Amino acid sequence: MSDGTTSKASPAGFADSNDRTVGLIPAAKPFSVSKPQPAGTKPYRDFSDFLGEHFAGKVQKISINAGFTCPNRDGSKGHGGCTYCNNQTFNPEYCSTSASITEQLEKGKAFFARKYPTMRYLAYFQAYTNTYASVERLRAMYEEALSVPDVVGLIIGTRPDCVPNALLDYLAELSRRTFVMVEYGAETANDRTLQLINRGHSWADTADAVARTHARGIFCGLHLILGLPNETIHDFRATIDAVAALPIDTLKLHQLQLIRGTRLARQVADGEVTVAQWSAEEYADVCIDLLHRLPPHIAVERFVSQSPASLLISPRWGLKNHEFTHLLHRRLTAKSNS
Ligand code: SF4
């Protein structure tokens, strides 16, 4: 996504079962760990549940690189970017700034329509900071995406310090006629960590952006990274507790990925900072611990991200997103039944 670490860029586009499609799915049960969970039960609300409340058929996100830059790279908010960021990892291969928004969406549609002819689509403005332009320019881009046949809404990834009220007012107006969600890269509620990773904004910025977005009736998602430098389970829990107090609709969790060529990779190699070195099972247990603290109305969109193997230093679990989700469900069921 725009302001997290990474997203996947497999040749097959994105293949996360949580991201992929949504039909009409029975309402999610509140998450309860006190009752045994039968194998295969999904014990929390996921993104499919959330989208199923808004769309009657299958819906697929298509990532777009609209050619934005980032205010944490160009000096407006900071220089050098977040220490973990390498934007090469963001986009499926059909995204490129040489293709127009329409061309990118049509290419994505062609990929999915072969298998699902009745599929409809959400334009996912993903790479860099997708609100970093004038309202007039943003309006033209968003409305170009919405003019593509079968595109039924927008998801806009951005930083919490890049959403002026004038833009949110426009998005509020837009959301009265189509689906609009703004997805903020919050990463952590710990301001010390935010400084350490050169994020360029504070937790207060996130809380403020979410409040202003929610107040206008716009769907709101947050993105967090688990395993940022020097953080422990206590920091993750504090962040989830802070998130739980915000009026958000969806949440993405990602493991920190150490990416070649980033400042963070150099800092870790030089021993300046430490980052979590966990197995997939250990990370799943952290996610389970955090799910216990999350209000059941918040839909969890995903737990992991997959960067291209050529760029990834660690962790190298070799699991696809849906494989990790199955692992987590198995462990959750085992814990609930024990
Ligand atoms: S804010 Fe900029 S530097 Fe930080 S993760 Fe997003 S695109 Fe990368």
Do the domain assignments include residue 128? yes
Do the domain assignments include residue 306? yes
pLDDT at 98: 79
Do the domain assignments include residue 207? yes
pLDDT at 43: 73
The pair of structure tokens assigned to 239 is 């962040």
Do the domain assignments include residue 10? no
Task: From the CA of 159, give the closest atom in ligand 1.
Answer: 1
Task: From the CA of 70, give the closest atom in ligand 1.
Answer: 2
CATH number, residue 276: 3.80.30.30
Mutate to test the pocket of ligand 1, among 5, 63, 72, 228 (most ligand atoms within 8 A of CB): 72
Do the domain assignments include residue 278? yes
Look up the pTM and report it: 0.87
CA of 243 to the centre of ligand 1 (A): 20
Sequence-distant (6+) residues with CB within 8 A of 50 are 249, 250, 299, 301
Segments forming the whole domain that contains residue 245: 17-337
CA of 63 to the centre of ligand 1 (A): 16
Do the domain assignments include residue 54? yes
pLDDT at 96: 52
Decide: residue 176, CB within 10 A, 0-12 exposed, 13-18 middle, 19+ buried: exposed
Do the domain assignments include residue 312? yes
pLDDT at 80: 87
The pair of structure tokens assigned to 196 is 């350490």
Residue 136, φ and ψ in degrees, nearest 5: -65, -45
pLDDT at 69: 87
Residue-by-residue DSSP string for 56-108? SS-EEEEEE------TTTBSSS-BS--TT--GGGS--TT--TTS-HHHHHHHH
Is the C-beta atom of 87 inside 6 A of ligand 1? Answer: yes
Number of domain units in the chain: 1
CA distance 241 to 293: 7
Is the C-beta atom of 73 inside 6 A of ligand 1? Answer: yes
pLDDT at 89: 52
Is the C-beta atom of 85 inside 6 A of ligand 1? Answer: yes
pLDDT at 321: 92
Is the C-beta atom of 70 inside 6 A of ligand 1? Answer: yes
* Mean pLDDT split into 10-residue runs, the chain, 338 residues: 36 28 27 36 85 94 92 89 77 62 96 92 94 97 98 98 98 97 98 97 98 98 97 97 98 97 96 94 97 95 93 94 94 85
